[in-house]
Amino acid sequence: MRTAPKIVRSLGTMVAYGFPRGDVRVDLAIARRIGATHLEILPDWSTWPEPGHVRRLAEDGGLTIHSAHGCWGGQSIAAKRVDLADLDAAGRVESVDDLRRCADWLAEAGGRFLIVHPGGLSDKDDVLARRETLLESLDALSRHAESSPIRVCVENMPPGVWPGSRMGDLAEIVAEINRPNVGLALDTGHANITASVAAETIAAGLHLRTTHVHDNDGRRDTHEPPGLGTVDWDAWTDSLDSIGYEGPIMLECIKRLRSQPDLVTPEFAERLRRLCGRS
């Protein structure tokens, strides 16, 4: 069997922005310390933090804003709860409207990839109805973003989200929408609980646009730094190469790195280099 060519990828990290108890400058310093070049912004959407400010801070630090995590669940702007597959028509409209606002915010911040959840915990018996609702919501978001550089990326979820916990189901939905500005985001922690990270990556295939990278024990979504859980990272990077993924390795474990700076060791730095295909 021929081995896929090795691809070198950039390193990124999520940073929190606009939360009352935090300072994004702390997270930006961590980003620079670990050698990240790209950022995903997690805004406190309820406070609607200034997008131009974080854009300037990133640029001043030599960092590029790649993506933002859109509203989800109770983390909303105007909606009571954000669920793109909500079977309640009013709730679905509110959800789409909130994520339209997120897309506009991200464009002002200078990013391109808006990460959205396909929905929340739901009843398996409702999967077909929720699938149709999710299709409608993603189509509406796609049409809203088509005059901008924004790409909507649907994230795979932990077990219990119908549809949404399996990347194969989401890949079918994205293929059905068939719009260049709708793709997928692979969350390694969620994949490690649901199936295997490599298998879920292969299922995403050419629709994969970005990542959320963290580790866990295969049971709880604890957002550990890579290497502190059970994810098979070598198998994962091989699967990324096999589908030709060239986007960033976007860490989603900033809380742990912030609270335990001693985790950033030479060994950890080497692990990140390997994940990015640099050693």
Over residues 139-152, the pLDDT tens digits come to 999 999 999 999 99
**Span 192-205, pLDDT tens digits:** 999 999 999 999 99
Q: How many CB atoms lie within 10 A of CB 3?
A: 8
Cα–Cα distances in Å, from 230 out to 24, 224, 236, 241?
Answer: 30, 10, 12, 21
| CB within 8 Å of 277: residues ≥ 6 apart | 6, 7, 8, 9, 237, 241
pLDDT of residue 7: 96
DSSP notation for 163-204: TTSSHHHHHHHHHHH--TTEEEEEEHHHHHHHS-HHHHHHHH
Look at residue 5 in the predicted model and tell me its pLDDT. Answer: 87
172-202 burial, b at 16+ Cβ within 10 Å, e below that, comes to ebbeebebebbbbbbbbbbbbbbbbbbbbbb
In CATH terms, the superfamily for domain 11-275 is Divalent-metal-dependent TIM barrel enzymes (3.20.20.150)
> Which H or E run contains 58?
helix 51-60
Confidence (pLDDT) at 1: 35
Closest alpha carbon to 233 in 206, 256, 251 = 251
- Longest CA–CA span in the chain (Å) reads 53
Query: Please, which residues bridge with residue 113 across strands?
Result: 67, 151
Backbone phi, psi, residue 146, to 5°: -70, -20
**Nearest CA-CA partner of 96 in 85, 108, 84:** 84
In this prediction, the residues of the chain whose per-residue pLDDT falls under 70 are: 1-2
- For β-strands 64-69 and 208-212, DSSP reports them as unpaired
The per-residue DSSP string of 225-272 comes to PTTSSS--HHHHHHHHHHHT--S-EEE--HHHHHH-GGG--HHHHHHH
Enter the tokens of residue 74: 């109770």
Question: In whole angstroms, how large is the CA radius of gyration of the chain?
Answer: 18
Backbone angles phi, psi at 78, to 5 degrees: -120, -25
SS3 60: helix
Upper half-sphere CA count for residue 224 (Cβ side, 13 Å): 16
Angle between the N-to-C axes of helices 197-204 and 167-177, in degrees from 0 to 180, rounded to the nearest 10: 10
Q: What gap in Å lies between CA 226 and CA 236, rounded to an integer?
A: 12
